[in-house]
Amino acid sequence: MRFKVLDDPKVADYIEKKEELATKVQKISKEIESLEEDRNKLVLKIQRYNDKATPLIEKYQDEKELGEYEKYSRVYKDQESGEIRLEIYDEVEEFKIFIKNREEEAKKKKDAEQSSKTKGNN
């Protein structure tokens, strides 16, 4: 293999800057990898707590308390009161909200199309 020595200060400067940036990228990549490992460890801990809490929570889930279209959703700690709450949602109400949102989006899209047509005619 042959090589040719370049004696150009600009090229040397660019190569040096490129190597500095490559070193920074490697350092950041290692930090990201370390953070991902930490995140994964935390996620596993969260899952362990979920696994321990699930049987306890199920004791409080009485299907007789639910209406015909109600379901248990989640358990969470209310930030204001500090209460632990078991959320119950109504599938019918959720569906109504979904339909309403879909209709609103369709109306916005239709209005936008009509407004672009009227702008094109002017």
Query: Could you read off the pLDDT tens digit of each residue along the chain, which spans 122 residues?
Result: 998 999 999 999 999 999 999 999 999 999 999 999 999 999 999 999 999 998 998 888 888 888 888 988 888 999 999 999 888 989 999 999 999 999 999 999 988 888 877 776 65
State whether 69 and 121 are in the same domain: yes
Task: Examine the domain organization and report whether 45 and 95 are in the same domain.
Answer: no
Structural domains of the chain, count:
2
pTM more than 0.85: no
- pLDDT given for residue 74 in this prediction: 86
Cβ-proximal residues to 75 (8 Å cutoff; 6+ apart), any chain: 53, 57, 84, 85, 86, 87
Q: Are 105 and 94 spatial neighbours (Cβ–Cβ below 8 Å)? A: no
User: Domain check: are 54 and 90 in the same one?
Assistant: no
Q: Same structural domain for residues 49 and 30? A: yes
Together in a domain, 75 and 87 = yes
Are both 35 and 89 inside the same structural domain? no
Q: Which range marks the domain in which residue 27 is found?
A: 1-59
Same domain for 71 and 119? Answer: yes
pLDDT tens digits for 9-32?
Answer: 999 999 999 999 999 999 999 999
Distance CA 62, CA 114 (A): 51
Do 121 and 75 fall into the same domain?
Answer: yes
Residue after which a domain boundary falls, among 59, 80, 104: 59
Q: If you ran DSSP here, which 8-state letter would residue 66 be given?
A: S
